[in-house]
Every structure is written in structure tokens, then in C-alpha cells.
Structure 1
Amino acid sequence: MNWIKFTVWLLGIYTCYYAILILWDLFRSKYTGHSDDKQELTFVLDDEPVHMVRDEPDALTTESPVISSGGVSLKDLFNLARDESVEYIKAVSF
């Protein structure tokens, strides 16, 4: 038996196997009354957005030395590292 004959036999066996599985699934769904058209999953969103108001007075908040917590550009990051404003653990080439 050469490789071409082996491959043809293998493809034939797989084709028969999957054809039997498909026919069995169709036969089973016919007698159980289940079809894919009847099974539909739906979601209903009844939630409405709620506007939250902060009840805490401003006197309870503490002052922070951080001016902003936003991102910085790469150039500003290197300037902060040079000024030792940020802590880094590996050497940075400037």
C-alpha cells in the first residue's frame, strides 16, 4: 500500500464517519421535535442609567501633592527620570 492509496482510504473513512454523524443528528432532531429555529436566546435590558451625585462634602477630602494622574509623553518621562522624580530600576540611556 502506497501513500496515495492510504490517503484515499483515510479520506473515505472520515467522509463516511462525518456523513453518518450528520444523518444521525438530522434523524434524531426529526423525532424529538427540536429544531434550531425554535431555540433563540434573547436579552432584554430593563436597566436605565442612574446619575450619581457625590454626597461627601469637600472638607473631608485631603490635599494631595499629585497635580495630575494623567500620562506623560516619552520625552517628559525621560526628563522626570533624569530629575529623579520617578523611580526606575534599570539603566536608561538618555
Structure 2
Amino acid sequence: MSMMFLAGSELPSAHSDAKRLHARFERFHPPLPEDPVERRKKQDIFFVSIPTKLQGTKLLTYQPGKNDPNPVALIGQFITVRLSNRSATFPWQDRSRDD
């Protein structure tokens, strides 16, 4: 399962909580290959620090500076790369019950 953690880096307690949660999940994922192309294909857990005190859904209101990561764009890219572009790998299945 692909996961992405975003956290504001200017609130140390919340940022360290997010890093700790990321680390707990990361240890259950296989090590990544050294080859950058293969690494990009296989990486399925991500952590991004955003230079702000904002946390949670408030990160969606963050206005990035010129060189800052844009949380909304990162989430969109994550969904595109990790889900939409892989739709053939995970075809839709109707799981509804016929009760």
C-alpha cells in the first residue's frame, strides 16, 4: 500500500510525531534498490517536510514560496503516480453484496 506523510517542519513536536509514524510503517516495507529508476518504481512510502507550522488539513491552505514544496501538487502527483498510472495493475472489482 502506498503512503505519503506530509508534515509542517516548524512545529517540532508534530513534525517528530509524523516522522515517528512514518518510521513505524517504513520498517515493514522492503529495502529500495540502488538503481534510481527502479527505486522510483518501487518506492511506496514517502515523507515530505513543509516549511510551516501548519499541520493536517491546514497544510492544504499553505501558500508555498518559490522553492517550497506545494502540498496540493504533491498529493495530486502522488495519486497520479501511485494510483492512476497503475490502474491496469489494480483493475476495478465490484465487491458489493447481492443480499
Q: TM-score, normalized by length of structure 2?
A: 0.27
Higher relative contact order (CA 8 A, sep 6+): 2
More strand by share: 2
Query: Is the radius of gyration larger for structure 1 or structure 2?
Result: 1
Name the TM-score, length of structure 1 as normaliser: 0.28
